Structure 1
Amino acid sequence: MSAIEWVDGLMDTLGAPGAGVAIALENLFPPLPSEAILPLAGFAASAGRMSLLAVLLWTTAGSVAGALALYGVGALLGRDRTVAIAARLPLVKVSDIERTEAWFRRHGTKAVFLGRMIPIFRSLVSVPAGVERMPLPVFLGLTTLGSALWNTAFVLAGYALGENWPEVTRLVSAYSTVVLVAAALTVVAFFGLRLSRRPGADTAP
Structure 2
Amino acid sequence: MLLENIIPPIPSEVIMPLAGFTIAEGKLSFIGVILSGVVGSILGALPWYYLGKNWGEKKLRKWIEWRGQWLTLSVEDLERSQEWFNRYGNWVVLLGRVIPGIRTYISIPAGLENMQLFSFLVYSTVGTTLWISFLTIIGYWLGDNYTLVKQFLSPISTLVIVILLITFCIWFYTRKKR
Alignment of 1:37-186 (within 5 A): 37-87=15-65, 88-90=67-69, 91-186=72-167
4+ runs deviating over 4 angstroms: none
Partner letter of residue 71 of structure 1? Y
1:31 Cα offset (Å): 1.0
Higher RCO (C-alpha 8 Å, min separation 6)? 2
> What is the number of equivalent residue pairs in this alignment?
175
1:35 Cα offset (Å): 0.5
User: Secondary structure of 1:121's match?
Assistant: coil
1:97 Cα offset (Å): 0.8
In the superposition, the TM-score normalised over structure 2's length comes to 0.94
Give the whole-Å Cα distance in 2 for the aligned partners of 1:164 and 1:98. 47
Give the whole-Å Cα distance in 1 for the aligned partners of 2:173 and 2:134. 38
1:87-114 Cα deviation digits (max 9, x unpaired): 3122321111111111111011111000
In structure 2, the partner of 1:28 is 6
Partner letter of residue 79 of structure 1? E
1:146-169 Cα deviation digits (max 9, x unpaired): 111111111011111111112122
Percent identical residues: 40
User: Secondary structure of 2:9's match?
Assistant: coil
Partner letter of residue 176 of structure 1? S
Give the whole-Å Cα distance in 1 for the aligned partners of 2:105 and 2:20. 25
Q: Cα RMSD (Å) of the superposition?
A: 1.2
In the superposition, the TM-score normalised over structure 1's length comes to 0.82
Give the whole-Å Cα distance in 2 for the aligned partners of 1:189 and 1:84. 26
